[in-house]
Amino acid sequence: MNEVVLPPDDGVEQLCSRLRIDRADRESTLAARPDPGEHPELWRVLERSYQVLLAQLGRRVPGNPAWAPLPAATGAVGRHLFVWVFLAVVPHVRDYHATIGLTDRESWDSLGALGEELELSRRLTGRAGLDATWGLPLVFSGTSFRLGRLAFERQPPGDDNAWNTHVPGDRTPLTSAACDASFARAMELAEQCGGHVDGFVCHSWLMDDQLQRYLPTTSNIIRFQQRFTRFTDRVKADWAPIEHVFHRRFDGDDVPPSLLDELPQRTTLERAVVTHLRYGGHWYNRTGWMRRRRTPVRHAPRLSL
């Protein structure tokens, strides 16, 4: 069984810049280094979580529940424990990425999800460290990766052979050209490993067709949405644009009017989100499905992708 080896402080500094971890999050992580002698129970959680990721490396298991935050009483070390798990697993997931043919840049870009999530979590909660995380265990077990503008996640065996599509919120425009390149790369990667992708799904507030009432047809969001043809589910999710556009959270099901009053109204999307809610509307997460033509396998050893 692999023992957990945490990187030394100077190694963490280097890793953090590769993983796009902001200075504030870097400092709070270093200040919350877990120690087996001082934090024996947390250390056991760390070892267990590390072993789980190694056991799942490259295997998208069904279910995959979010990793819940540790109890508040575990303090800063508890809020950063999973950050240390992810840092410790980096060499293994990097090796796995190389095996399936991700480029060095794609590999680091994928793992950069840690920096993005730490920053988002700090903005949303006002505290350093991680909250519940669903996406990061997938990234650090090598089953979710970023290919250019978009990120993808493989489905568990037995499901449709459609990859899940994510739109990272780094504010670079979602241009059609960038999306074309990402989808093409995803199919190429699947073929490279002797497999194929039948299609792509996207479960997001970006799939809500009500956005078409507010955004021009030339908008990147509308163009992205229109790539998907079959839509299922429709789950009320006012929280989604509030979190993803404004980086704010609220308690309960409905957005408090006082919060709407505070939100900036600089862009068409910001105005759309707020106006729609003010007039009693709601936003929905929907699942869009896009079929891709199956392309012949050109080469490559069979790897289980």
Cβ of residue 239: shortest distance to ligand COA, in angstroms?
11
Residue type, 202: C
Cβ-contact 116, 123 below 8 angstroms: no
Pick between residue 167 and residue 186 the one whose CB is nearest to ligand COA.
167
In this chain, which of 77, 85, 189, 245 binds ligand COA, going by CB under 6 A? 245
Cβ of residue 263: shortest distance to ligand COA, in angstroms?
10
Residue type, 110: S
The strands making up 199-204's β-sheet, listed across from edge to edge, are 144-147, 150-153, 162-166, 199-204, 284-291, 230-236
Pick between residue 28 and residue 204 the one whose CB is nearest to ligand COA.
204
129: left (phi over 0), alpha (psi -120 to 50) or beta: left
Dihedral sign, CA of 301, 155, 150, 115?
Answer: negative
Instruction: Tell me: does residue 226 bind ligand COA (CB under 6 A).
Output: no
Q: Cα separation of 38 and 76, whole Å?
A: 14
Instruction: Tell me: does residue 138 bind ligand COA (CB under 6 A).
Output: no
In this chain, which of 171, 293, 299, 302 binds ligand COA, going by CB under 6 A? 171
Pick between residue 165 and residue 192 the one whose CB is nearest to ligand COA.
165
Stretch that binds ligand COA, among 7-15, 105-113, 171-179, 288-296 (CB under 6 A): 171-179
Instruction: Tell me: does residue 269 bind ligand COA (CB under 6 A).
Output: yes
Q: Cα separation of 237 and 119, whole Å?
A: 22
Instruction: Tell me: does residue 220 bind ligand COA (CB under 6 A).
Output: yes
Contact positions vs ligand COA (CB under 6 A): 167, 169, 171, 173-174, 204-206, 215, 219-221, 244-245, 267-270
